[in-house]
Chains A and B, each alone.
Chain A
């Protein structure tokens, strides 16, 4: 058992937000998904105040050792999410972490007020990799912006608040410290790295969104460095992620100070990857103990 923000997790492996849609997976795999659910907590895809269609296709590019996505956070909006998705998520038998994104402190506050009184939601993750509508800066790239945001939303809920840090910033540890100072219960990192691909025929940007976020084994070493730097800087628990595809990768992130490890892109290659990684991780620990 792992204690994380007051939640009891059966093992240290959870999913990265936006990398596992339980409702779609249930349609594809039926009850075997629930019987063999791979994660110790379920982090939902980012939800926003109003519904979003997402970016125009193409949304994917396979890169060396990974991929670039420009999905654009399609979601039904917070009201439909709470009405239609949360009741099903609550049946998974693992804690539900709801990931929300706003483009201002006021939007974040409105989202958190809606989620705060829902008993099914065990914790809230703040996706701060979004430009502030007023400053144009990514909220999470700027320590002062993060402290302001936490100041606005921390008083609104007693639920654990996890700040999903962006790696696209000069000093990620400074951002983590700002989140902790503002009252965050945990930080999670890394989100995808901003990246771009060109159409091999026309030379124009390939992705419908222009640029996208890179993930997969190609970013694993970047994640390790950023998680290590953040874990050394803050006293609150750290969720480490970025290119994890084996128990050894997860053990490395735990070794540099993460409390919990999230699996993202590897679940695309195998929906049951989280189970395998948790089992490999348990094996790593028993080997080390022996």
Chain B
């Protein structure tokens, strides 16, 4: 496992680009990162004093890529923390803690990886595909959001409103792929309702899979016990016991 240096570091923002309604922020970072790992991220300047005098805590954001001295983050503006992160411009600085958590375990040789991503949950899967390959199935609200499918090679797309690709859920695509191909390894990250649907498909087909979970966190390194999820072994911390869990381990 890749461990993080102890303590948060100040790192320069190197790049910023728009991908549909999302922002991809690139930050200076030399450490190796595994797909599924995440960082706790906050802006050095202007962290606090936003809506409701927030943000206060850093935000847990998965790595989208890590290469050439830069780690990338795909961010959607959904609150005071992500709003500030979306504003970051090259030349600004962030506090960086990580890489944190357990990433995906790559499939055995000869087994096809099926990557199932939803919305802003796609980064670990894009990074996975770049490293290990695999077939990407990605779901978005609309064609606008689905511009982020460009982060994948040859993705199959689903959209909630039918404005692009399959009109419906990405898990519809997963169900037919599983029917057709049989022995595959499934890797998924996305909204809770999507992950639950993936988990049910895998359970029904008696197949294994790895799900990368998201949860609000105060610390990201196991200190606060705030990010627990229910598993067959009781509550587990998403930050240090995950964020990647075997689908069969989730309750």
Contacts and interface: CB of A to CB of B under 8 A. Distances in A.
A66 interface: yes
A3 interface: no
B55 interface: yes
A53 B57 contact: no
Contacts of A32: 3, 5-6
Nearest to B79: A62
Interface stretch (A147-155, A184-192, A264-272): A264-272
Given A27-B240, A57-B215, A57-B229, A272 B7 contact: yes
A60 B228 CA distance: 10
A34 to B, nearest CB: 9
Contacts of A33: 6
Interface residues of B, number: 38
Nearest to A58: B216
Given A25-B223, A28-B222, A216 B240 contact: no
Interface string B196-235: 0000000000000000000111110111111111000011
Given A21-B222, A24-B223, A24-B240, A65 B228 contact: no
Nearest to B54: A62
Contacts of A267: 219, 223
A69 B215 CA distance: 14
Contacts of A269: 8, 42, 56-58, 95, 219
A67 B222 contact: no
Interface in A3-23: 18-21, 23
A71 interface: yes
B8 A272 contact: yes
A64 interface: yes
Contacts of B27: none
A45 to B, nearest CB: 8
A24 B54 contact: no
Given A19-B224, A30-B3, A64 B53 contact: yes
Contacts of A21: 222-223, 225
Interface string B50-80: 0011111110000000000000000000000
Interface in B13-62: 42, 48, 52-58
A277 B1 CA distance: 30
B242 to A, nearest CB: 12
B249 to A, nearest CB: 16
Contact of A71 (B56, B216, B224): B224
A59 B226 contact: yes
A63 interface: yes
Nearest to B218: A268
Given A24-B221, A267-B223, A268-B224, 17 more contacts: A24-B222, A27-B240, A28-B240, A53-B234, A54-B228, A62-B55, A62-B57, A64-B53, A66-B56, A269-B58, A270-B7, A270-B8, A271-B219, A271-B221, A271-B223, A272-B7, A272-B8
25 contacts: A18-B225, A20-B223, A24-B223, A25-B6, A25-B222, A25-B223, A27-B240, A28-B4, A28-B222, A28-B240, A29-B4, A36-B7, A54-B235, A59-B226, A64-B56, A66-B56, A67-B56, A69-B218, A71-B226, A217-B56, A268-B224, A269-B58, A269-B95, A270-B95, A271-B8
Which A-B residue pairs are the 4 nearest by beta carbons? A24-B222, A272-B7, A64-B53, A60-B226
